[in-house]
Amino acid sequence: MKVQVIYHSLSGCTEKLARGIFEGLKCENKTLHNLADGTPEIDGDVILLGYWVDQAGPCKPIRELAESLSGRHVGLFCTMAFWCDASHGTASLHNGAACVQEKNTVIGGIAVNGHMSQKMIDMFRAMGAGPHSANPASEARWALMKDHPSACEIALAAERFNERIALLEILSQRDIAFPSVAI
């Protein structure tokens, strides 16, 4: 079974997660693609799409690729500089799944914390008042998340996809369709 890990990264968080997932995959036939280098030929049995969150969904390059996929087994992973277990994290993963679930089988997904780039921090600090402006709580969160995604988050993401790929292989051998995961 061939697995393609395809990602787009803004601050390096999604790339760090993508590389960690790739290294942690137990399958031998796997490839890693950065969309910044161009769109690869889509020929994997499983496509793992990684994105940085933009307005509670996938960044534009991944969204466009996701919407073009058909008949694939797709896993999703994303990074955000906010709490990944908050409603924003859940919505960001759900909105990524919405791009693929109509024409593909979703095998699962995971959202993890990422760090905020210094450019974004400077922009938020310069905003003054507003929903995304810097405040003591956001400053503390940004400092706390400076090393995310963590090794634990990366290991969990790799484990999640290894389990889903193993289940897909078992079900395929038994001629049973993988039940799409509602995210």
pLDDT digits (tens, 9 = 90+) for 110-138: 999 998 888 888 988 898 777 777 889 88
Q: How many CB atoms lie within 10 A of CB 26?
A: 12
Q: Is residue 180 part of a domain?
A: no
CA 116 to chain centre: 16
Q: Is residue 181 part of a domain?
A: no
Same-domain pairing of 34 and 50 = yes
Q: What pLDDT was estimated at residue 123?
A: 86
Instruction: Considering only CA atoms, give the Rg of the chain.
Output: 17
Q: What pLDDT was estimated at residue 95?
A: 96
pLDDT by residue for the chain (183 residues), tens only, comes to 999 999 999 889 999 999 999 999 999 999 999 999 999 999 999 999 999 999 899 999 999 999 999 999 999 999 998 888 888 889 999 999 999 999 999 999 999 999 888 888 898 889 877 777 788 988 898 899 999 999 999 999 999 999 999 999 999 999 999 999 988
Dihedral angle, C-alpha 6, 7, 8, 11, nearest 10 °: -150
CATH number at residue 91: 3.40.50.360
Q: Is residue 182 part of a domain?
A: no
Sign (positive/negative) of CA torsion 26, 146, 95, 137? positive
CA nearest to 87, candidates 59, 53, 50, 117: 53
Q: For the whole model, what pTM was predicted?
A: 0.93
Same-domain pairing of 74 and 123 = no
Q: What is the tally of structural domains in the chain?
A: 2
Q: What pLDDT was estimated at residue 150?
A: 95
Question: Domain span at residue 13?
Answer: 3-114+149-173
Q: What pLDDT was estimated at residue 113?
A: 92
Q: What pLDDT was estimated at residue 101?
A: 94
Q: What pLDDT was estimated at residue 127?
A: 84
Tell me if 5 sits within 8 A of 32, measured CB to CB: yes
